[in-house]
């Protein structure tokens, strides 16, 4: 087992030098031919993940669920959905991970539950009883919902409680009623459940939609941002009163006593509040940085987003890194189960080459923070292939498609937006082999495999001279190399060559040692010249050569180099 630092040493928590990998269980690997990925499937690939360099596995929800939102609608917080396996499988997973010096992080979805959860069913049966207090129940207004908030997945945030005149509140789908965190009994219940999992051997949680726990209890209307007079529910977040008491209770009663790793799914908190959420004194160990994933946002709907722009994207990453400074440790992603595949999204069409993909990989992994990889990212999986709107499974994509049409976009335009943005892009089955259904299942996959699987799969990548996974392995090994820990893990971050329009570069600097690493990428076609006269040594290079002439480094199309700089690092070129 790799050596772990003691939990008590607050300056270097155990998770800081780790690499995390997200599994979307339904699409990872099916062990029993029912077409749905499962826990035994994951168990059989632990060596594969260990070999890649993964330390922490984050599992998207595997709890019992009607799967309206693919498991993010939980009907029992203490179980495993039979489609994924059993609690014995879960115990085996925890055990087998431990044996390999790895850790398990579960998805904590406690802003809402499923409408099939017994709490909600009881609330329906007796709204005036104790379980009515578990949810936000309100009388309507003028024969309609209590206010004009629009749910994340479309429609009003309010639906009628069956058999009652009251409305219940939901941030997401109507099958995902929000839990009333104002009620101390809910908080006690959730804390008990969190501790139950931590006692079982889970090492932490990814906290789903955690900023939504607190509501603006005035439930007043928001400014309309849609032709139908509704207002995106997210708009109320800046007005919500202090969420701190709820999050501190989780931290105090659950996370701290277990020395747990937590990563908050937090979109857009004010830079001034970063340390409140993610610093050593913050609610969570780290925060996901989504700033660069939504840098193209220009309205509430996908059809309003602007096309990808390199400088906007780069500036968003720089901004997040600078906001986090040396106090907040971010979790950096290129992909997750809600985002498109990164080669399809962050690289201009036609540039999803080996160089482009490996450049993206290194740019993300070497930022200050914890690198999170998403299944399939390590072989450069691409966006799915969707012919018609019916090909989409995801309820959010379907809603965005309808919204685009009702705003007057043509079907072709609405499809184009959804092809680019759909959450389904990342949810196609993992491509293991060039065989039937990409080796994902011996049965019929629950969701079609991307047709590119014959060429793009783990097996083919392994024997390729330009193996994307091979690059990731070297990259993750460098991030984990104890020799570079004070630079690449704990070191500071500073943008470089910001004035260059097609250069993405930054410095990482060791605080105590003063050693420096330059990550330098030409994010574009042709050759780019960068003036650079320092002595250096190449740690990584995604091309076979680095041209250095007349005080300039000359980088090819999407070439990225990682350079150890300064006296003593020099080498003969």
What does the binding site for Ca ion look like in residue numbers (CB under 5 A)? Answer: 30, 32, 34, 36, 38
What is the Cα–Cα distance from 550 to 533, expressed in whole angstroms?
Answer: 9
Q: Pick what 34 binds: Ca ion, ligand TEU, none; C-beta below 5 to 8 Å, kind-dependent.
A: Ca ion
Query: Min. distance of Cβ 418 from ligand TEU in angstroms?
Result: 11
Q: Pick what 247 binds: Ca ion, ligand TEU, none; C-beta below 5 to 8 Å, kind-dependent.
A: none
Q: Does 172 bind ligand TEU (CB under 6 A)?
A: yes
DSSP labels for 302-335?
A: GGGPPPP-HHHHHHHHHHHHHHHTTT--EEEES-
Four-residue CA torsion sign, 509, 511, 512, 514:
positive
Q: Pick what 338 binds: Ca ion, ligand TEU, none; C-beta below 5 to 8 Å, kind-dependent.
A: ligand TEU
Query: Does the annotation count 265 as an active-site position?
Result: yes
Q: Does 289 bind ligand TEU (CB under 6 A)?
A: no
Q: Does 109 bind ligand TEU (CB under 6 A)?
A: yes
Token pair of 490 as six digits: 């704990």
Rg (CA), the chain: 24
Query: Residue 21 burial (CB < 10 Å; 0-12/13-18/19+)?
Result: buried
Site map (CB under 6 A) of ligand TEU, residues 389-408, x = contact: -------x------------
Q: Considering beta carbons, is residue 69 or 461 the nearer one to ligand TEU?
A: 69
Backbone angles phi, psi at 559, to 5 degrees: -70, 135
Q: Considering beta carbons, is residue 301 or 471 the nearer one to ligand TEU?
A: 301
Decide if 102 contacts 49 (C-beta within 8 A): yes
Query: Residue 48 burial (CB < 10 Å; 0-12/13-18/19+)?
Result: middle
Query: Min. distance of Cβ 347 from Ca ion in angstroms?
Result: 33
What is the Cα–Cα distance from 383 to 426, expressed in whole angstroms?
Answer: 7
Q: Does 152 bind ligand TEU (CB under 6 A)?
A: yes
Name the pairing type of β-strands 560-565 and 552-555: unpaired
Which three-class secondary structure state does DSSP give residue 271?
helix
Q: Does 247 bind ligand TEU (CB under 6 A)?
A: no
Which residues pair with residue 305 across a beta bridge? Answer: none
Q: Under rule CB under 6 A, how many of the chain's residues touch ligand TEU?
A: 13
- The active-site residue out of 30, 69, 159, 265 is 265
Sole binder of ligand TEU in the list 30, 38, 55, 69 (CB under 6 A): 69
Q: Pick what 133 binds: Ca ion, ligand TEU, none; C-beta below 5 to 8 Å, kind-dependent.
A: none
Torsion-angle region of 115 (φ positive above 0: left; ψ -120 to 50: alpha; else: beta): alpha
What is the Cα–Cα distance from 273 to 526, expressed in whole angstroms?
Answer: 42
Decide if 172 contacts 159 (C-beta within 8 A): no
Site map (CB under 6 A) of ligand TEU, residues 319-338, x = contact: ------------------xx
Q: Does 423 bind ligand TEU (CB under 6 A)?
A: yes
What is the Cα–Cα distance from 158 to 166, expressed in whole angstroms?
Answer: 9
Which three-class secondary structure state does DSSP give residue 112?
strand
Query: Min. distance of Cβ 45 from Ca ion in angstroms?
Result: 14
Query: Min. distance of Cβ 31 from Ca ion in angstroms?
Result: 6
Q: Pick what 109 binds: Ca ion, ligand TEU, none; C-beta below 5 to 8 Å, kind-dependent.
A: ligand TEU
- The active-site residue out of 30, 69, 175, 208 is 208
Query: Min. distance of Cβ 233 from Ca ion in angstroms?
Result: 35
Which three-class secondary structure state does DSSP give residue 246?
helix
Query: Min. distance of Cβ 18 from ligand TEU in angstroms?
Result: 21
Sole binder of ligand TEU in the list 208, 296, 378, 461 (CB under 6 A): 208
Find tokens 């009620």 and name the residue: 183
Query: Does the annotation count 208 as an active-site position?
Result: yes
Q: Does 424 bind ligand TEU (CB under 6 A)?
A: no
Which three-class secondary structure state does DSSP give residue 427?
coil
Query: Min. distance of Cβ 152 from ligand TEU in angstroms?
Result: 4
Active site residues: 208, 265
Report the interface residues with ligand TEU, using CB under 6 A.
69, 72, 109, 152, 172, 208-209, 265, 267, 337-338, 396, 423
């Amino acid at each position: 087992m790799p050596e772990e630092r003691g939990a008590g040493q607050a300056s270097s928590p155990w998770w800081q030098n780790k690499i995390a990998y997200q599994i979307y269980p339904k699409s990872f690997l099916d062990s029993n031919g029912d077409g749905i990925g499962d826990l035994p499937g994951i168990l059989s690939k632990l060596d594969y993940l260990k070999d890649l360099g993964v330390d922490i596995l984050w599992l998207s929800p595997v709890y019992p669920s009607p799967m309206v939102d693919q498991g993010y609608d939980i009907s029992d917080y203490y179980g495993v959905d039979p489609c994924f396996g059993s609690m014995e499988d879960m115990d085996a997973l925890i055990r087998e991970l431990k044996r390999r010096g790895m850790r398990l992080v579960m998805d904590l979805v406690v802003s809402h539950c499923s409408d099939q959860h017994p709490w909600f069913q009881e609330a329906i049966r007796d709204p005036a009883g104790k379980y009515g207090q578990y949810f936000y129940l309100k009388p309507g207004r003028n024969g309609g919902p209590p206010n004009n908030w629009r749910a994340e997945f479309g429609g009003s945030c309010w639906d009628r409680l069956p058999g009652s005149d009251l409305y219940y509140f939901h941030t997401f789908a109507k099958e995902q009623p929000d839990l009333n965190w104002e009620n101390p009994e809910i908080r006690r219940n959730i804390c008990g459940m969190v501790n139950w999992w931590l006692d079982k051997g889970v090492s932490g949680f990814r906290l789903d939609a955690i900023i939504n726990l607190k509501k603006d209890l005035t439930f007043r209307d928001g400014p309309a941002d849609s032709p139908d007079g509704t207002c995106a529910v997210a708009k109320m977040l800046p007005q919500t009163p202090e969420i701190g008491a709820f999050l501190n209770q989780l931290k105090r009663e659950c996370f701290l006593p277990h020395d747990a790793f937590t990563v908050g799914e937090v979109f857009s908190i004010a830079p001034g509040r970063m340390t409140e959420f993610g610093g050593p004194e913050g609610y969570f160990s780290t925060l996901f940085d989504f700033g660069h994933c939504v840098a193209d946002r220009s309205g509430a709907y996908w059809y309003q987003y602007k096309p990808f722009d390199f400088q906007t994207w780069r500036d968003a990453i720089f901004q997040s890194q600078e906001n986090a400074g040396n106090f907040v440790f971010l979790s950096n992603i290129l992909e997750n189960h809600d985002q498109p595949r990164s080669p399809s999204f962050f690289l201009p069409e036609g540039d999803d080459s080996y160089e482009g993909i490996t450049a993206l990989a290194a740019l993300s992994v070497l930022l200050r923070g914890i690198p999170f990889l998403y299944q399939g990212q390590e072989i450069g999986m691409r966006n799915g292939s969707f012919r018609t709107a019916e090909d989409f499974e995801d309820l959010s994509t379907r809603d965005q498609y309808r919204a685009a049409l009702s705003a007057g976009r043509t079907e072709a335009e609405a499809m184009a937006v959804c092809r680019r943005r759909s959450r389904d892009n990342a949810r196609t089955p993992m491509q293991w082999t060039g065989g039937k259904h990409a080796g994902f299942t011996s049965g019929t996959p629950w969701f079609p495999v991307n047709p590119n699987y014959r060429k793009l799969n783990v097996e083919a990548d392994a024997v390729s001279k330009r193996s994307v996974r091979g690059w990731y392995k070297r990259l993750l090994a460098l991030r984990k190399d104890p020799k570079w820990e004070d630079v690449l893990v704990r070191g500071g971050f500073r943008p470089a060559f910001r004035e260059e329009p097609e250069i993405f570069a930054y410095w990482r600097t060791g605080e105590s040692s003063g050693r420096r690493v330059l990550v330098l990428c030409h994010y574009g076609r042709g050759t780019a010249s960068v003036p650079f006269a320092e002595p250096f040594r190449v740690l990584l290079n995604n091309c076979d050569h680095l041209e250095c002439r007349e005080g300039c480094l000359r980088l090819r199309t999407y070439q990225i180099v990682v350079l150890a700089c300064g006296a003593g690092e020099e080498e003969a070129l």
